[in-house]
Amino acid sequence: MLRLDDRLKAGQRELLARVGEIAAEMDLSAFLVGGPVRDLLLDRPAPDLDVSIEGPVHPLAERLAERLDARVRKTSRFMTAALVLRDGSELDLARTRTESYPEPGALPLVEPAGLADDIRRRDFSVNAMAAALEPGRFGQLIDPLGGLADLQARRLRVLHDRSFIDDPTRMLRAVRFMLRLQFELEAHTRELLDRANSQRRLSGLSGARLRNELARIFRESPARGLRTLQELDLLQGMGLAPASEAACEASRHLPEAARVLDLDLRKSGALATCLGVYAGLSGQDAGAVAVRLMLDGQVRRSMCRAALLIEEPPQALRDELPDSELYFALRGTPAAAVVSCWAASEPPVRARLERYWHELRDVVADVDGEDLIALGYRPGPGFGPALEVALAARIDFDAAREE
């Protein structure tokens, strides 16, 4: 019988064994469940451990905190608790449960249940495995739905025919797991996804839920994420325009753009950069994307600025104009927008973007308002233009000196 205990790190094995022992003392059964089991079977790191308990969670959490010198952070809505360990890491505990959907796309109604029901409620078979933590069978794999076979075949399979109807976000989670694990959709699962998408099930979801799932997809891989969404027609399914081939191709260059500009793509906004390329090259109105996905201020500003730069690049980007004109054309442009524009542009424009980002964006004038007052100027509307002239002179003087 397959066991997982030898795949755990020593510290994880010791922690989970203690959880299993203490749960057994309270006549409870504890199981490692979901993604960590999948990742351990794939020999992938499993830093986040999820434990399900057949029975009340909070009394066990309090006992664990006492015995392990930890503290408890509770959330009661889904019968869960988080155990904060001495090193600051967390162990998530949840009551085994079943879920039902009052209507398609609604958040589920949750009720306590046994492990078998807890496994059946999950999205894909590869996430529907568990490992026992109780003494005597610690690490023993529990796989009633064939998840291991699907894992070995590198395929994603839903557990029932209404899966994508009950929870349409599973269509987007399928894309994320396809990217992360490099799996394919099982044939019948693909049929079910296409059927649910043809019924526009995603269109009933809130912009916030779509936005969050897209952000997770693009963090996995900008290029493969956008192309897979396009190949599965999921952008159209959520009420957006299809991604053009140019947008899919440009998205391949986003990681390179981030490297050239010395930016962390996650920090500069994987969602904003991908959407900027998509909106700028797919004929999709950026404002409509922002409304549909309920984008917040910074992401919205970055995406809209990127789309405008790509669709209508200023002359200072297209032509060899003085550096001061390049500076004023791009001043205040968010980092994510610069990344998007670089990825979507030809080498001459890329060079100008690099010039601005590395050499010009932080330039300040040699004079300020106090200097102008000292020269006899009275504060007033003319101050701003005068300072702009001084800044332009500083930028162009520095450029001439470099030559």
For residue 400, pLDDT beyond 70: no
pLDDT at 138: 94
Burial class (CB in 10 A: 0-12, 13-18, 19+), 381: exposed
Express the helix, strand and coil content of the chain in percent, nearest 5 each: 55, 10, 30
pLDDT tens-digit readout, 241-257: 999 999 999 999 999 99
For residue 354, pLDDT beyond 70: yes
Instruction: Please indicate whether residue 306 or residue 111 has the higher confidence score (pLDDT).
Output: 306
Q: Say which CATH number the domain at 129 has.
A: 3.30.460.10
pLDDT tens-digit readout, 3-23: 787 888 889 999 999 999 999
Q: How confident is the model at residue 366 (pLDDT cuts 50, 70, 90)?
A: low
- Tokens 């790190």 correspond to what residue? 9
CB neighbours of residue 313 within 10 Å: 19
Q: What is the pTM of this model?
A: 0.89
For residue 107, pLDDT beyond 60: yes
For residue 371, pLDDT beyond 80: no
The two structure tokens encoding residue 68: 């392990």
Write down the mean pLDDT value for the chain: 89
pLDDT at 35: 94
For residue 158, pLDDT beyond 80: yes
pLDDT at 381: 55
Question: Are the beta carbons of 91 and 105 closer than 8 angstroms?
Answer: no
Is position 151 within any domain? no
CB neighbours of residue 256 within 10 Å: 13
Is position 228 within any domain? no
Q: Decide which of 146, 168, 202 is a domain's last residue.
A: 146
Q: Decide which of 146, 177, 207 is a domain's last residue.
A: 146
Is position 122 within any domain? yes
pLDDT tens-digit readout, 120-151: 999 999 999 999 999 999 999 999 999 999 99
Is position 154 within any domain? no
- Domain of 16? 1-146
* Residue of 41, 34, 32, 42 whose CA lies nearest to 12: 32
Is position 86 within any domain? yes
**H-only helix segments in 94-233:** 115-120, 147-153, 163-166, 169-181, 187-198, 207-220, 222-231
Rounded CA-CA distance 62/160 in Å is 37
Give the number of domains in the chain: 2
Instruction: Give the Å distances, CA to CA, from 26 to 17, 20, 97, 208.
Output: 15, 10, 19, 41
Q: Decide which of 112, 146, 180 is a domain's last residue.
A: 146
Question: Are the beta carbons of 174 and 149 closer than 8 angstroms?
Answer: no
